[in-house]
């Protein structure tokens, strides 16, 4: 257990936004300047705490939970307030508080209709609590709570500030996710009752590390498969994996820019993180049986997402479909159940967060300036707004996995990992087939991204916008975007920034999988 500042560090990271939220709620709605300032300071302070955690983290023991706190919470159901980070959680936590800060900066003068910064920023702060909390929770019930907290703010964000079809998109997002998490909760309960954990009160626990250590605890293989199935639904809907992805294009298309960014960069990762943190370590046997199917859905997602992209006319919808494909790569890495694959998956999560987040920012700014995202109406962005055009091109390159940029290190090793999946899955030839399909997916990715680039950035401006005065990248945008762009380059050039953190934790994790 941690002492002094370390004992408080993670709680501060998670709950500082609550303080900001309370302040924002009591401020009058018209006092927009103060509201923005309070939110900015809150997210800055939260990020500063995260940086402190990153600095004080012991990189020689990434497989151990650090900054760990375990306090009694709901005794009646034997659930504890147990939080901590290891090498798997740390990059996600950092990503989460980093992206939220940038979103607040970007929002400074980009409030979508019906404006109301007070409500908008309050929702962002509430979202941050849920996101940060999910990545540090070490207790199934605590995880569930944080996992669910993000639902309502995102629902409101899409529903109030979204596009024309926002009501449909928001309720679809909500019901899909809620359905998944209801089954997930049932699975958590089943684990609680089925796994015997020696040395705890009552013989049962929701504590994740204890459950991982306890192993299968007398469950038959069939029961394990069922329980894993429940969790699979919960997490796969969030990721989203094919065929549970249909909420995503709608949600992304209708959501306001910042909503899309948070959704793509962090919310989707709650699903993949759930697989790595909970489903697979607690039920490794079932995971091995499920892995070929997860791999199958992952590669279907890669191809389906790519083909879906090619059929889009809306720039934002295209990026949304590309998310499905990219998360397919992440899931393929996870399905391989190897150290190599999981490292790639976590890297892919971070990279996708930076790159796709950035792409959604640009799409938002394009919409802000041109009031359309129809690619047939756009063109010549490089001429009219050269900075924005170059940034879009840069992100497209990163997204298609150009070596030297962050996207490469998520995608390429994930594909490679399918060549040698965990031997005890006994499906190596099948996975090699997946590898080939996934490799085809990268070609398609290059296809749709360049196609989008050609439509939006190249050529001459369309007549309807030819004489329009187009604003290029503004100050708030530069401040919000520069760190992202630098991050994409830094991770691309020196991927060890992430691999060094994750490797130890992942290595110790894969020992549980059995090989």
Partner 1 sequence: MILGVAASLVAHNPRIDWFGIAPEGTLVATAVAVLLLDLVMPRRDSWQTSRLASVGVLVSLGFVVALYERHGGTTPMFGGAYVVDNYAIALKGFFLVVAYVTILLAVDYIGEGDYYQGEFYFLLLTSVLGMTVMTSARDLITIFVALETISIPTYVLAGYRKHDRRSNEAALKYYLIGAISSAFMLYGMSLIYGVTNSTLLSDISDKVGQTGHGKVLAVAIFLSLIGFAFKVSAVPFHWWAPDTYEGAPTPVTAFLSVASKAGGFVAMLNIIFFGFSNRSNVWWVVAWLLAILSMTLGNLTALRQTNIVRMLAYSSIAQGGFMLVPFAAYGIARDHGHLSVAQTSFQAVVIYLLIYGAMNLGAFGCVIAVARRTRSADIEGYGGLFTTSPALTVCLSMFLASLTGIPPLAGWFAKFVMFRSAIDAGGWAGTSLAIVAGVNSVIAAYYYLNVVRTMWFKAPATEAGPVQVPSALGFSIALCTVLVLAIGVYPQLVGHIGDLAAKAASVATGS
What's the Cα-to-Cα distance from 113 to each of 126, 222, 455, 506, rounded to whole Å?
A: 20, 51, 28, 44
Taking CB under 8 A as the binding criterion, the range among 72-80, 87-95, 243-251, 319-327 that sits at the site for partner 1 is 72-80
Q: Closer to partner 1 at the Cβ: 29 or 500?
A: 29
Token digits of residue 11: 């709680």
Of these, 19, 40, 52, 145, which contacts partner 1 (CB under 8 A)? 145
Q: Residue 99 and residue 331: Cα distance in Å, rounded?
A: 22
240 makes contact with partner 1 (CB under 8 A): no
80/367 with CB nearer partner 1: 80
Contact segment (CB under 8 A) with partner 1 among 92-100, 103-111, 151-159, 283-291 equals 151-159
Q: Among 75, 198, 201, 403, indicate the residue that binds partner 1 (CB under 8 A).
A: 75
Residues touching partner 1: how many (CB under 8 A)? 34
Q: Which stretch binds partner 1 (CB under 8 A): 146-154, 367-375, 420-428, 502-510?
A: 146-154
DSSP string of 74-129, one letter each residue: EGGGTEEEEEEE-TTHHHHHHHHHHHHHHHHHHHTT-PPTT--HHHHHHHHHHHHH
What token pair was written down for 260?
Answer: 């899309």
In the complex, what is the shortest distance from the CB of residue 120 to partner 1, in angstroms, rounded to a whole number?
Answer: 12
Cβ distance to partner 1 smaller for residue 159 or 305? 159
- 236 lies in the site for partner 1, by CB under 8 A: no
Other beta carbons within 10 angstroms of residue 371's beta carbon come to 10
Alpha-carbon gap, residue 252 to 361, rounded angstroms? 12
User: For partner 1, which residue of 44, 51, 54, 151 counts as binding (CB under 8 A)?
Assistant: 151
If binding is defined by CB under 8 A, does position 156 make contact with partner 1? yes
Residues 6-35 contacting partner 1, CB under 8 A: 29
Q: Segment contacting partner 1 (CB under 8 A): 170-178, 208-216, 343-351, 407-415?
A: 170-178
Is residue 285 a contact residue for partner 1 (CB under 8 A)?
no
CA distances from 333 to 109, 341, 492 (A): 39, 4, 18
Stretch of 87-95, 97-105, 154-162, 243-251 contacting partner 1, by CB under 8 A: 154-162
Q: How far apart, in Å, do the first and last CA atoms of the chain sit?
A: 31
Contact by Cβ (8 Å): 43, 104: yes
Give the interface segment with partner 1, choosing from 36-44, 152-160, 296-304, 440-448 (CB under 8 A): 152-160
Beta bridge partners, 71, equal 81
Q: Work out which of 148, 196, 285, 472 binds partner 1, going by CB under 8 A.
A: 148
Does 153 sit near partner 1 (CB under 8 A)?
A: no
Q: What is the signed CA dihedral for 326, 332, 338, 339, rounded to 10 degrees?
A: 0
Question: Shortest Cβ distance from residue 190 to partner 1 (Å)?
Answer: 6
Which region among 68-76, 88-96, 338-346, 469-477 touches partner 1 (by CB under 8 A)?
68-76
- Binding to partner 1 in span 28-67, by CB under 8 A: 29
Q: How far is the CB of 374 from partner 1 (least distance, A)?
A: 24
Helix (H) or strand (E) holding 162: none
Judged by CB under 8 A, the residue of 27, 48, 152, 485 near partner 1 is 152
Give least dist CB 160 to partner 1, A.
6
CB of 78 to partner 1, least distance (A): 10
Residue 514 C-beta: closest distance to partner 1, Å: 27
Binding to partner 1 by residue 304, rule CB under 8 A?
A: no
Mask of contacts with partner 1, 171-210, x by CB under 8 A? x--xx--xx--xx-xx--xx-xx-----------------
Is 412 a binding residue for partner 1 by CB under 8 A? The answer is no
Mark the segment that binds partner 1 (CB under 8 A) among 45-53, 167-175, 214-222, 282-290: 167-175
Beta bridge partners of 70: 82
Tracing tokens 């809907």 back to the chain, one arrives at 237
Which residues, in sequence order, are CB contacts of 58 under 8 Å at separation 6+? Answer: 64, 66
CA distance 413 to 171: 36
Residue 489: closest CA among 354, 382, 346: 354
Q: Which of residues 85-124 bind partner 1 (CB under 8 A)?
A: 119
CB proximity list for 52: less than 8 A, separation 6 or greater: 5, 9
d(CA 242, CA 303): 10
Closer to partner 1 by CB, 138 or 502: give it: 138
Using CB under 8 A, which of 82, 166, 245, 326 touches partner 1?
Answer: 166
74 binds partner 1 (CB under 8 A): yes
15: left (phi over 0), alpha (psi -120 to 50) or beta: alpha
CA dihedral of 185, 189, 194, 198, whole degrees rounded to 10: 120
Residue 495's closest CA among 296, 348, 375, 291?
Answer: 348
Least distance CB 75 / partner 1 (angstroms) = 6
Q: Which two tokens stand for residue 114?
A: 């019906």
275: its two tokens: 């697989």
H/E segment holding residue 24: helix 5-26
How many Å is the maximal CA-CA distance in the chain?
A: 74
Tokens standing for residue 493: 């050039």
- Residues of 426-450 as b/e, b for ≥16 C-beta within 10 angstroms? ebeebbeebbebbbebbebbbebbe
Find the part of the chain contacting partner 1 (CB under 8 A) among 156-164, 426-434, 438-446, 462-470: 156-164
List interacting residues with partner 1 (CB under 8 A): 29, 73-77, 119, 141, 144-145, 148-149, 151-152, 155-156, 159-160, 166-167, 170-171, 174-175, 178-179, 182-183, 185-186, 189-190, 192-193
């Amino acid at each position: 257990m941690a002492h002094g500042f370390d004992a408080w560090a993670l709680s501060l990271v998670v709950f500082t936004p609550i303080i900001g939220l309370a302040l924002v709620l009591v401020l009058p709605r018209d006092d927009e300047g103060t509201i923005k300032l309070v939110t900015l300071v809150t997210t800055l302070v939260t990020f500063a705490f995260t940086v402190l955690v990153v600095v004080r983290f012991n990189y020689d023991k990434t497989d151990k939970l650090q900054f760990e706190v375990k306090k009694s919470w709901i005794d009646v159901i034997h659930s504890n307030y147990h939080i901590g980070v290891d090498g798997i959680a740390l990059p996600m936590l950092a990503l989460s508080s980093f992206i939220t800060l940038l979103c607040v900066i970007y929002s400074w003068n980009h409030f979508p209709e019906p404006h109301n910064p007070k409500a908008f920023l309050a929702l962002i702060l509430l979202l941050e609590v849920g996101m940060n909390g999910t990545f540090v929770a070490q207790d199934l019930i605590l995880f569930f709570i944080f996992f669910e907290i993000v639902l309502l703010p995102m629902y409101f964000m899409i529903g109030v500030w979204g596009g024309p079809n926002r009501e449909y998109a928001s309720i679809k997002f909500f019901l899909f996710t809620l359905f998944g998490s209801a089954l997930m909760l049932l699975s958590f309960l089943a684990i609680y009752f089925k796994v015997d954990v020696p040395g705890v009160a009552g013989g049962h626990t929701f504590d994740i590390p204890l459950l991982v250590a306890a192993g299968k605890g007398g469950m038959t293989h069939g029961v394990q498969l069922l329980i894993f199935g429940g969790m699979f639904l919960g997490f796969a809907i969030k990721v989203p994996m094919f065929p549970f992805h249909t909420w995503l294009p709608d949600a992304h298309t209708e959501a306001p820019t910042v909503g899309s960014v948070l959704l793509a960069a962090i919310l989707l990762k709650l699903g993949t993180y759930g697989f790595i943190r909970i489903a697979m370590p607690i039920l490794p046997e079932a995971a091995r049986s499920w892995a070929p199917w997860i791999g199958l859905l992952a590669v279907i997602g890669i191809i389906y997402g790519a083909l879906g992209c090619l059929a889009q006319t809306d720039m934002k919808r295209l990026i949304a479909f590309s998310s499905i494909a990219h998360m397919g790569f992440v899931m393929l890495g996870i399905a391989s159940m190897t150290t190599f694959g999981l490292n790639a998956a976590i890297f892919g999560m971070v990279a996708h967060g930076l790159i796709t987040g950035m792409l959604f920012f640009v799409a938002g700014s394009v919409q802000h300036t041109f009031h359309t995202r129809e690619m047939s109406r756009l063109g010549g962005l490089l001429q009219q707004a050269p900075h924005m055009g170059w940034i879009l091109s840069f992100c497209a390159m990163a997204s298609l996995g150009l070596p030297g940029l962050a996207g490469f290190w998520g995608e390429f090793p994930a594909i490679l990992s399918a060549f040698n999946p965990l031997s005890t899955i006994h499906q190596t030839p099948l996975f090699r087939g997946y590898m080939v399909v996934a490799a085809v997916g990268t070609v398609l990715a290059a296809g749709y991204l360049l196609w989008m680039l050609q439509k939006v950035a190249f050529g001459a401006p369309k007549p309807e916008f030819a004489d329009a005065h187009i604003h290029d990248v503004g100050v708030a945008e530069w401040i919000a975007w520069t760190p992202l762009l630098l991050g994409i380059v830094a991770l691309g050039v020196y991927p060890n920034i992430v691999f060094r953190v994750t490797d130890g934790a992942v290595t110790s994790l894969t020992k549980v999988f059995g090989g």
